[in-house]
Amino acid sequence: MKRFIECCCTGADEVMEAVAGGASRVELCEKLDIGGVTPSYRLIGQVMDTCTLPVNILVRPRGGDFVFSAEEKTSMLRDIEACKRLCVNGVVIGALKSDGSIDTDMMQRLVEAARPLHVTFHRAFDCCSDPFKSLEDVIALGCDRLLTSGLAPSAYEGRELISRLVTLAGDRIVIMPGAGIKPSNIAELARTTLAGEFHGSAHSASGKTDRNVVSQLVYDSPELL
């Protein structure tokens, strides 16, 4: 059985590895060492010219927390408009208030600006103060999916909370586990959470997305990496 893997990539070369490995969708970003930021328009265009998979774009102006200034919010809106012009599949966004709640006012602006693109609320969720209240806020905003590690360093460690989120969400939103997903833990993560989509960078020892690792995630290879 083929598993739905969204592969997080930082360059056109990694995107081609994701395609070759059997990924179902790509999330494109840059600077994973700081958690990922919005890729350059040039890179987005390059990938859109060659990639045969749906491509979602991370819209995040900087690393660090998810409490954004007015200038950063304007930058995010501008980047979303650029993504629409480049005909991407979707955007990956998130914003919090200083108390750890979802910044619903800003998120509403971002979601409205993004439509009709798909919208994923990213791992800003993992810094929220109340995951159950935040889940309902994200659903109310109309987001299509929620990327989360279950408020833990990795999705495997957060699998029990992810399982609860999947149950609570029902068919209202897709809960997509992400962070630290490997061929050695994805089967147990899938069994525990009952999630239908998974997000990972599928890096080999080289630190880059590798088609063999992607394939092991997609096809449930028992190999350990």
DSSP string spanning 209-222? B-HHHHHHHHHT--
Q: What does the chain come to in residues?
A: 225
pLDDT (0 to 100) of residue 38: 98
Give mean pLDDT, residues 211-222. 87
Q: Tell me the pLDDT tens digit for each residue of 99-145.
A: 999 999 999 999 999 999 999 999 999 999 999 999 999 999 999 99
- Tokens of residue 24, six digits: 């179902």
Percent of the chain past pLDDT 70, that is, above it, reads: 98
CATH number at residue 121: 3.20.20.380
How many CA atoms within 13 Å lie on the side-chain side of 80?
Answer: 25
Is 80 exceeded by the pLDDT of residue 225? no
Is residue 83 assigned to a domain?
Answer: yes
The amino acid sitting at 149 is S
Question: What span, in angstroms and rounded, lies between the C-alpha atoms of 160 and 37?
Answer: 28
Is residue 112 assigned to a domain?
Answer: yes
Q: Which domain holds residue 60?
A: 4-219
pLDDT (0 to 100) of residue 221: 59
Give the H/E segment covering residue 26: strand 25-28
Q: How many domains does the chain have?
A: 1
Pairing mode of beta strands 4-9, 174-177: unpaired
Is residue 225 assigned to a domain?
Answer: no
Is residue 167 assigned to a domain?
Answer: yes
Is residue 214 assigned to a domain?
Answer: yes
Q: Tell me the pLDDT tens digit for each residue of 18-72.
A: 999 999 999 999 999 999 999 999 999 999 999 999 999 999 999 999 999 999 9
Question: What span, in angstroms and rounded, lies between the C-alpha atoms of 86 and 117?
Answer: 11
What are phi and psi for residue 133, nearest 5 degrees?
-65, -45
Is 60 exceeded by the pLDDT of residue 224? no
Is 90 exceeded by the pLDDT of residue 14? yes
